[in-house]
């Protein structure tokens, strides 16, 4: 009968160890998740053409609000309330900075910033012309 008590008692003891181990693991996972959420988003460099949201694929042939792509882009911004976007050849991204892109309208640039994938908006840190 003494052997039976040890056998019955042992699983109960192992169960407490397992509960403690699961609690520690859960705690570590929660800390890791909080740390990941607290980390700032990674900055990336995007290359493309500064255009406007009405001609968001960089093709100004339909609108032709001016003799050049740059003039059409600026005209769509001022006359039609469009926004500056970066078109990378596949996708266009709204730019959080709507002042700096004006001097780069119609030009190929690199934009450094963070991307909000849900809204397809780049939070702009800098814009530079591609040479």
- Say what percent of the chain tops pLDDT 90: 53
According to the model, what pLDDT value does residue 36 have? 63
Check whether 62 has a pLDDT greater than 80: no
Question: pLDDT class for 14, splitting at 50, 70, 90?
Answer: low
Question: Is this prediction's pTM over 0.85?
Answer: no
Mean pLDDT, range 77-86, rounded to an integer: 94
Instruction: Tell me how far apart the alpha carbons of residues 29 and 77 are, in angstroms, rounded to a whole number.
Output: 47
Question: Does residue 11 register a pLDDT over 70?
Answer: no
Residue 113 CB neighbours (<10 A): 22
Q: Which of 54-58, 67-71, 119-123 has the lowest mean pLDDT?
A: 54-58
- DSSP for 50-92 reads EEEGGGTTS--TTT--SSSHHHHHHHHHHHH---EEEE-SS-E
pLDDT tens digits, one per residue of 107-122: 999 999 999 999 999 9
Predicted local confidence at residue 20, as pLDDT: 65
């Amino acid at each position: 009968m003494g052997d039976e008590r040890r056998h019955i008692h042992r699983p109960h003891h192992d169960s407490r160890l397992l509960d403690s181990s699961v609690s520690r693991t859960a705690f570590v996972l929660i800390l890791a998740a909080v740390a990941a959420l607290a980390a700032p988003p990674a900055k990336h460099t995007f290359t493309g053409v500064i255009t406007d949201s009405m001609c968001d694929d960089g093709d100004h042939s339909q609108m032709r609000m001016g003799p050049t792509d740059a003039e059409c882009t600026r005209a769509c911004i001022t006359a039609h309330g469009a926004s500056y976007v970066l078109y990378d050849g596949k996708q266009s991204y709204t730019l959080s900075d709507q002042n700096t892109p004006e001097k780069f309208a119609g030009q190929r640039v690199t934009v450094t910033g963070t991307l909000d994938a849900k809204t397809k908006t780049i939070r702009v840190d800098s814009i530079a012309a591609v040479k």
